[in-house]
Chain A
Amino acid sequence: MLRVAFRLHASRLRPLRCFHFSARRFAQPDVLTSLEASPIVQAVSRRMRRRSELQSQLSETLNSPEDKDRMKQISMLEPLRNAWEEWENTRNLLKETTLLLEDPDPSMRSLAGEEYSELVSKLSTMAQEKFPSLLVPPSETSHLSAMIEIKAGVGGSESALFVSDMIRMYTAVAGHMGWKAVVTGKNENENGGMKDAVLEVKGEKAYDTLRWESGVHRVQRVPATETSGRVHTSTVAVLVLPLEEDSGQEVKDDLFTMDQVRIEVMRSRGAGGQHVNKTESAVRLTHIPTGITVSMQDERSQHQNRRKAFQVLRARLMDRKLSQETVDRRDMRRSLVKSADRSEKVRTYNYTQDRVTDHRLGMSIMNIDSVMDGEALQEFLTELGRKHQEELLEDAALS
């Protein structure tokens, strides 16, 4: 940087000559103009204008509530402002270096040429990497674990068999990712399938990575029970909910208050107490403001079912909050959001063609076992995560 600064000084001594060669310079494609016109750089520039506005709106005393809010916004833009200053410095250097490209002294021209390409590459790195990383705020949900609810859909017992297959698939991928997966609830049917199951996946970024699994998964294969060899199409519905670490307490948080939740026991016990020793532990919670109900009867005690039911209620409310935030933030036409309506078919597992296709990515993997054993599923998860990041960036570039 220092070296450049010195030569900048020199360039000011020769303004007229540069002017003389200006026609040739403009004939070249103007890298800087196209960089500056990129949506990302425009977005950063808009945020900087917004920052100046905020600063000019600050009162002298700096202690009104509005001031607090403005200061907060300003400080949140601080990392971006530092990058922007660097961008502007580099841009100014580039402008001046451009002039030197036409210097009559050949050695000066060659030095300027080197300098020029360094600066251009620095600017494009900033536009393509640094700005995007600063424009998209870091995920606020990266600490959350995931609760994967899987339900058999169309296709009866064949669909239930695929629920078991998917539980194995997600358990395997959790192993690859270093997460801990536990089946916390399941309703098995008589054929070794599951009508529904719940898998808890605990670990860093588990929810962020798995959340795009929500939706309808379609399986096409010849069922084990099918004698004629006909291919059946069945579906399984997956819902991935955000899960906070269970602290063991019915913690208070901003998702609900206890007086908003109606707790009901499910059946009459007659006289109850010593008169009855039948295990009736089912519990139902109703979150009155939203009408969300959670019924739980997996466990053998009231206390356990209640605790689990609260965990599910918290996950549902968190999911609702996150979806609402997503909708508030971005345009509904974008693909991942559309799939957030959860009735959309997201993936097809075609056994006869040995192929798994993700419909949102338009991407197929031609080895079904590698997906089902979790290895290749990671490719889909990575791509979906990348797509999400790209969409967030597009949003940021538009705002």
Chain B
Amino acid sequence: MATTLLRKQALSQLSRALGSEQATVELKWMLRSLEQPDRLVADSLSAMVARRVSGEPLQYILGTQPFGPLDLLTRPPVLIPRPETEDWAIRLAEFVKPTMRAPIQLLDLCTGSGCIPLLLCKTWPAGTVRARGIDISAEAIALAKDNAARCGIPSSSSKPTASHELTAAHNTFDALQADIRLPGFLASLKSSGIRPRFDVITSNPPYIPRDQYEQLPTSVKDYEDIRALLGDPDLLPPQGKKSLSDSGRGLTFYHDIAKLVAHEQEGLLTTKGILAVEVGEGQAKDVAAILKTEGGLQYTSIWTDPWNIERVVVASRK
């Protein structure tokens, strides 16, 4: 338990870095996580404050972030789940209603912590969804697996115990490391035994344009994986892949995703499937156009986040 003096000191240090209002709530959350019997953080209050003042995100210091009904682990450098994503994932969970009689296959591209598919698995009735998460980062795949275990969502390959065999109704989640931008991605899915047809595809791909990336707050830029943030990866210095006409606007991954769903019979999305992608501020209309022209998804709608920014493009063929 922190003494009065320590607290006073912590508050004034945090206030200088964050402003007094934010400092007050963050101190409260730090104290609360220190009070927890099964706490994940080994730090003392003063160590936490020192990390926070140096610019580290609070979520990495505390080791968790609540996300809808879930309490997810957070580990650098994997992208921390954002409240905007929480909002639309909850909305999607209500928008799509899978049933035991019509269970669905779900694919989450650039899954990171696994927040989107895990929230859906947790919210939808048992036995209605089989989810896969793909990410290029080994750290993300490891974290997504740990989060699935933490949320009690089994892998589809986990051996059913005797009691499970009788009640086979589970939602399952599998995390797979792969680069969705490689030409062989579809083939690699097939070779790992996944039937590459999905009823729902979700993604929060990196979407920050190069010039904006340079301006990001240090808590984002210096701590979170550039591979989860930068929407113009081809402009990274060492690689010199061919660049698209709109390169520099953070839209690279949307072109790739559109390509993956474009073919109605061979693509990743079933004929009646739904694609939901998160976008950055000001990108929604461009992304909707890309999905329409390059992905063949004629019907698009745009969801606004609680801060009134166009945040999600939801698209389908029919």
Cβ of B254 under 8 Å from chain A: no
Once the chains bind, are A269 and B307 in contact (CB under 8 Å)?
yes
Residues of A with C-beta under 8 A to B69: 248, 303
Cβ of B86 under 8 Å from chain A: yes
Which one, A129-137, A276-284, A337-345, A389-397, is touching chain B? A276-284
- 0/1 string, A241-263, CB within 8 A of B gives 1: 00000001000000000000001
Contact partner of B66 among A263, A268, A300, CB < 8 A? A300
Known: A278-B219, A301-B67. A272 touches B7 (CB 8 A): no
CA distance A303 to B22 in the complex (A): 19
Once the chains bind, are B29 and A275 in contact (CB under 8 Å)?
no
- 0/1 string, A226-239, CB within 8 A of B gives 1: 00000000000000
- 0/1 string, B64-97, CB within 8 A of A gives 1: 0111110000000001101111110010000000
CA distance A274 to B206 in the complex (A): 8
Once the chains bind, are A303 and B305 in contact (CB under 8 Å)?
no
Which of A191, A277, A297: most chain B CB closer than 10 A?
A277
Once the chains bind, are A275 and B307 in contact (CB under 8 Å)?
no
Cβ of B129 under 8 Å from chain A: no
- Interface members, chain B 216-263 (any A CB < 8 Å): 216-217, 219-220, 223-224, 228-229
Cβ of B214 under 8 Å from chain A: no
Once the chains bind, are A277 and B280 in contact (CB under 8 Å)?
no
Cβ of A265 under 8 Å from chain B: yes
Cβ of A273 under 8 Å from chain B: yes
Cβ of A31 under 8 Å from chain B: no
Once the chains bind, are B208 and A275 in contact (CB under 8 Å)?
yes
Once the chains bind, are A271 and B309 in contact (CB under 8 Å)?
yes
- Interface members, chain B 38-81 (any A CB < 8 Å): 57-59, 65-69, 79-80
Once the chains bind, are B281 and A273 in contact (CB under 8 Å)?
yes
Which of B79, B217, B228: most chain A CB closer than 10 A?
B217
Once the chains bind, are B306 and A190 in contact (CB under 8 Å)?
no
Residues of A with C-beta under 8 A to B138: none
Contact partner of A273 among B25, B68, B311, CB < 8 A? B311
Once the chains bind, are B216 and A275 in contact (CB under 8 Å)?
yes
Once the chains bind, are B58 and A303 in contact (CB under 8 Å)?
no
CA distance A299 to B25 in the complex (A): 9
Cβ of B293 under 8 Å from chain A: no
Which single residue of chain A is at the shortest CB-CB distance from B27?
A188
Once the chains bind, are B307 and A265 in contact (CB under 8 Å)?
yes
Once the chains bind, are A265 and B306 in contact (CB under 8 Å)?
yes
Once the chains bind, are B280 and A302 in contact (CB under 8 Å)?
no
A contact face: mostly helix, strand, loop, or mixed: loop
Contact partner of B29 among A271, A280, A300, CB < 8 A? A300
Known: A280-B83, A301-B65, A302-B86. A272 touches B57 (CB 8 A): no
Residues of B with C-beta under 8 A to A268: 307
Once the chains bind, are B58 and A275 in contact (CB under 8 Å)?
no
Residues of B with C-beta under 8 A to A303: 66-69, 86, 90
Known: A302-B87, A303-B69, A303-B86. A277 touches B57 (CB 8 A): yes
Cβ of A65 under 8 Å from chain B: no
Residues of A with C-beta under 8 A to B223: 277
Residues of A with C-beta under 8 A to B305: 272-273
Residues of B with C-beta under 8 A to A299: 66
Once the chains bind, are A277 and B83 in contact (CB under 8 Å)?
no
Once the chains bind, are A304 and B4 in contact (CB under 8 Å)?
no
The interface on chain B, measured as residues whose beta carbon lies within 8 A of the other chain's beta carbons, has a size of 49
Which single residue of chain B is at the shortest CB-CB distance from A269?
B307
- 0/1 string, A190-220, CB within 8 A of B gives 1: 1110000000000000000000000000000
Once the chains bind, are A273 and B306 in contact (CB under 8 Å)?
no
Residues of A with C-beta under 8 A to B57: 277
CA distance A269 to B307 in the complex (A): 7
- Interface members, chain A 144-197 (any B CB < 8 Å): 187-188, 190-192
CA distance A280 to B80 in the complex (A): 13
Once the chains bind, are A278 and B22 in contact (CB under 8 Å)?
yes
Residues of A with C-beta under 8 A to B11: 190
- Interface members, chain A 83-102 (any B CB < 8 Å): none
Once the chains bind, are A279 and B59 in contact (CB under 8 Å)?
yes
- Interface members, chain B 253-287 (any A CB < 8 Å): 278, 280-281
Known: A190-B7, A265-B307. A273 touches B59 (CB 8 A): no
Residues of B with C-beta under 8 A to A280: 83
Residues of B with C-beta under 8 A to A272: 82, 84, 281, 305, 307, 309, 311
Which single residue of chain B is at the shortest CB-CB distance from A297?
B25
Kindly provide the distance from the CB of A196 to the nearest chain B CB, expressed in whole angstroms. Answer: 12
Known: A190-B7, A301-B67. A279 touches B281 (CB 8 A): no
Residues of A with C-beta under 8 A to B173: none
CA distance A263 to B306 in the complex (A): 9
Contact partner of B280 among A192, A274, A298, CB < 8 A? A274
CA distance A272 to B24 in the complex (A): 22
Residues of B with C-beta under 8 A to A263: 306
Cβ of B16 under 8 Å from chain A: no
Cβ of B318 under 8 Å from chain A: no
Once the chains bind, are A276 and B220 in contact (CB under 8 Å)?
yes
Once the chains bind, are A274 and B208 in contact (CB under 8 Å)?
yes
Once the chains bind, are B86 and A279 in contact (CB under 8 Å)?
no
Contact partner of A279 among B26, B67, B217, CB < 8 A? B26
Once the chains bind, are A190 and B219 in contact (CB under 8 Å)?
no
Instruction: Pick 23 A–B contacts, CB within 8 A, sort by A.
Output: A190-B4, A263-B306, A268-B307, A271-B280, A272-B82, A272-B281, A274-B204, A274-B220, A275-B220, A275-B281, A276-B217, A276-B220, A277-B59, A277-B223, A279-B58, A297-B25, A298-B25, A300-B29, A301-B66, A303-B66, A303-B68, A303-B69, A304-B66
Apart from the given pairs A273-B311, A304-B66, 4 other A-B contacts in the complex at a CB distance below 8 Å: A265-B306, A269-B83, A273-B84, A278-B217
Top 10 closest pairs, chain A to chain B, by CB: A301-B66, A271-B281, A265-B306, A302-B83, A190-B8, A277-B57, A277-B80, A273-B84, A303-B68, A269-B307
